[in-house]
Each structure stands twice: as structure tokens, then as C-alpha cells.
């Protein structure tokens, strides 16, 4: 998840650069380049979303966490990311498309929507950081459980040897 969060953070930085380009624009000549940059960011957000869905499925298969955990991840990371990719970024793509038409959307509106995209990315990244912390705790807990199981097995083995040695005498 840390690698995916890093990829999403990089996409967020690219989205911020795009927003800054909108703010500094004096004409619409760069519309095609903005569209290309937006599509690259959107594609990365989609790929990270797909990979995160796979991670959650893997967690379910490995029985890491419970139903409450999966719902929390779904509500705080997966659904917001899907909404970002399917709705917010799609609306932005459509607005950027209008820049090549006779009646373009106002650049202020496009910039404002880009700010909303950045806010969504920030929330998702924050929630992913919490998710990473949870995964670390689960991994540590699993290590403790395995160690406890090993100690229990060794103790039972030692106890059996001692009982057997009493009866052998």
C-alpha cells in the first residue's frame, strides 16, 4: 500500500502542477497539453484504484481484519477514489474538452474543479496513511500470535518429554 500511496501522491503533485498551469494561463493555446496531462493523472488514479481493490481482496482471502475493517476501507478509500476517477475527473475532462470548442468553460471554473480534485486526493491520501498504519498493526499482531503459538507448541513438547521421562524411570 505504501507504493500505491506514493504513486497517488505523485499523481496529486501532477494534478497540482496542472492547476497552477490553469491559474497562470493567459490563453487557451495549451488546452491540448492540459488535456493530455489530465488524462495521465486520471489514468494513474484509476490504476491505483484497481490495485487497491486487489489489495482489499487479498486481505479478505488472507482473513486480515474483519467485515468492519473492509467497510471502513471501502468507505474511506475505495469509494472516494472511484468517485474521484469516475465523476470529478470525468467532469474535468469534459470541461477541458470544451476549451477546443467555440464556447469553452470558464478557466476559473476549471481551476476550481481542479482544486476540488486536489482536496479529494488529499483526503484519500490521508485515509490511505491510516490504512497503512492499520496494516502495520495487523502484521505485528500476526507476528505476536505466531510467536505465541510457537512458544505454546514448544512448551507442550517439553511438558510431554518431562512426563514421558517420569514414566520411563
Question: Is pLDDT at 35 greater than 70 in this prediction?
Answer: yes
Question: Is pLDDT at 169 greater than 70 in this prediction?
Answer: no
The span from the CA of 19 to the CA of 32, in Å, is 15
> Average pLDDT of 97-123?
94
With H, G, I as helix, E, B as strand and everything else as coil, classify residue 165: helix
At 6-20, the pLDDT tens digits run 999 999 999 999 999
With H, G, I as helix, E, B as strand and everything else as coil, classify residue 82: helix
pTM of the model: 0.76
CB count in 10 Å sphere of residue 14: 15
79 or 142, which is more confident?
A: 79
Amino acid at each position: 500500500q505504501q507504493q500505491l500511496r506514493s504513486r497517488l501522491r505523485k499523481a496529486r503533485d501532477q494534478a497540482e502542477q496542472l492547476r497552477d498551469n490553469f491559474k497562470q494561463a493567459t490563453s487557451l493555446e495549451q488546452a491540448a497539453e492540459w488535456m493530455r496531462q489530465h488524462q495521465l493523472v486520471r489514468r494513474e488514479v484509476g490504476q491505483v484504484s484497481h490495485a487497491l481493490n486487489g489489495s482489499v481482496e487479498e486481505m479478505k482471502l488472507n482473513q486480515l481484519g474483519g467485515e468492519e475493517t473492509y467497510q471502513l476501507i471501502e468507505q474511506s478509500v475505495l469509494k472516494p477514489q472511484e468517485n474521484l476517477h469516475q465523476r470529478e475527473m470525468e467532469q474535468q475532462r469534459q470541461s477541458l474538452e470544451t476549451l477546443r470548442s467555440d464556447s469553452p468553460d470558464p478557466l476559473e471554473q476549471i481551476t476550481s474543479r481542479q482544486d476540488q480534485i486536489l482536496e479529494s486526493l488529499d483526503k484519500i491520501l490521508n485515509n490511505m496513511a491510516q490504512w497503512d498504519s492499520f496494516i502495520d498493526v495487523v502484521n505485528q499482531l500476526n507476528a505476536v500470535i505466531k510467536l505465541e503459538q510457537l512458544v505454546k507448541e514448544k512448551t507442550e513438547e517439553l511438558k510431554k518429554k518431562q512426563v514421558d521421562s517420569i514414566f520411563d524411570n
